[in-house]
């Protein structure tokens, strides 16, 4: 490893550190999970402690897409367009079981998970998830951002010519293993 690589690595670390503490979210709120989202955003649970307090209501100013609630097949093209409008690097969180898998809807109208149309970095289960779960999911996302393993960070890296095997992506979980 040359000196330049070392500098680049450290610079990426610093950039990712900055990114993970200043997420600008775009809440794509379609259903009842929105109530829990409001709770997370409000002072009691206070997502601001993680630097993600500022919802932008334009995808062009956001780098974190939070999909809150059930996605129907009819909403698919709109969701995809919103995702495409966001600047890179970007991250996606599926908030609740409906956004993750379709939840208890198994029918003609509901999409079986938002990952059918956009890539998802972190899935938060729950119907709806408790605010603590959401904060837990956000911390997992921060860990992933710091490691440079968000889906769009990997895409950028791959497009720059680095070899990023999918198997290299480690499972997330912020509890450090004790020896």
Binding site for other proteins (CB under 8 A): 73-74, 76-77, 80, 106-109, 111-112, 115-119, 151-152, 154-155, 158, 166
Task: Output the smallest distance, CB 168 to other proteins, in A.
Answer: 12
Distance of CA 129 to the CA centre of its chain: 15
Specify the residue, 163 or 177, whose C-beta has the smaller distance to other proteins: 163
Specify the residue, 106 or 178, whose C-beta has the smaller distance to other proteins: 106
Task: Output the smallest distance, CB 70 to other proteins, in A.
Answer: 14
Specify the residue, 111 or 122, whose C-beta has the smaller distance to other proteins: 111
Task: Output the smallest distance, CB 83 to other proteins, in A.
Answer: 9
Specify the residue, 36 or 149, whose C-beta has the smaller distance to other proteins: 149
């Amino acid at each position: 490893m040359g000196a330049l690589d070392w500098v680049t690595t450290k610079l990426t670390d610093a950039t990712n550190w900055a990114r993970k503490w200043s997420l600008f979210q775009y809440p794509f709120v379609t259903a009842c999970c929105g109530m829990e989202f409001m709770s997370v955003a409000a002072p009691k649970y206070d997502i601001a402690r993680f630097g993600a307090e500022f919802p932008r209501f334009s995808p062009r100013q956001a780098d974190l897409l939070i999909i809150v609630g059930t996605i129907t097949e009819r909403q698919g093209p709109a969701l995809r367009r919103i995702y495409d409008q966001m600047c890179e690097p970007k991250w996606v969180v599926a908030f609740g079981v409906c956004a993750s898998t379709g939840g208890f809807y198994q029918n003609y109208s509901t999409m079986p998970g938002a990952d059918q149309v956009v890539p998802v970095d972190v899935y938060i289960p729950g119907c709806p998830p408790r605010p603590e779960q959401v904060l837990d999911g956000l911390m997992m996302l921060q860990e992933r951002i710091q490691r440079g393993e968000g889906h769009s960070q990997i895409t950028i890296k791959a497009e720059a010519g680095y070899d990023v095997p999918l198997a290299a992506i480690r499972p997330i979980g912020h509890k450090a293993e004790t020896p």
